[in-house]
């Protein structure tokens, strides 16, 4: 499917008639079942397994881990946003990529006096490749 300026502007313009047309609800369902930590996830019409690496207690590396998925979500959201803006602004764009990394301290309460792990830094490095007119 091609992203066009007319389609984007049409959706934005439709808001004048229906304010809810730009309101979306996202969600997932998941279930951890069995001995390990592998979790079956449903995301709308898609399904995947989320797990931890084999060197993590209970992990079997049956799928990406939750924090890598979070980084992927941040990166792809940035890519799509750049693509939409470039399209509306008539900026020729071949590709957009993002490298997302985050350092986390899994010692939680002992190191940070909180009850959950904390990301220390999340870095998003976008890369845009323009095409010539």
pLDDT above 60 (res 114): no
Q: Compute the CA torsion angle 101, 107, 112, 117 (nearest 10 deg).
A: 50
What does the pLDDT read at residue 2? 84
C-alpha span between 69 and 50 (Å, rounded): 9
Burial of residue 71 (CB within 10 Å: 0-12, 13-18, 19+) is: buried
C-alpha span between 122 and 124 (Å, rounded): 7
pTM recorded for the entire structure: 0.79
Q: Which residues contact 123 (CB under 8 A, 6 or more apart)?
A: 100, 101, 102
pLDDT in tens, 4-54: 999 999 988 998 899 888 898 999 999 999 999 999 999 999 999 999 999
SS3 2: coil
């Amino acid at each position: 499917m091609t992203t066009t300026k007319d389609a984007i502007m049409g959706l934005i313009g439709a808001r004048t008639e229906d304010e809810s047309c730009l309101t979306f609800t996202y969600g997932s369902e998941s279930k951890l079942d069995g001995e390990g930590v592998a979790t079956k996830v449903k995301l709308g019409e898609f399904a995947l397994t989320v797990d931890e690496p084999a060197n993590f207690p209970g992990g079997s590396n049956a799928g990406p881990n939750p924090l890598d998925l979070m980084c992927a979500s941040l990166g792809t959201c940035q890519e799509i946003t750049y693509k939409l803006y470039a399209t509306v602004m008539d900026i020729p764009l071949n590709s957009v990529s993002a490298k997302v990394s985050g350092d986390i301290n899994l010692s939680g309460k002992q190191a940070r006096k909180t009850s959950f792990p904390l990301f220390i830094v999340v870095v998003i490095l976008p890369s845009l490749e323009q095409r010539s007119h």
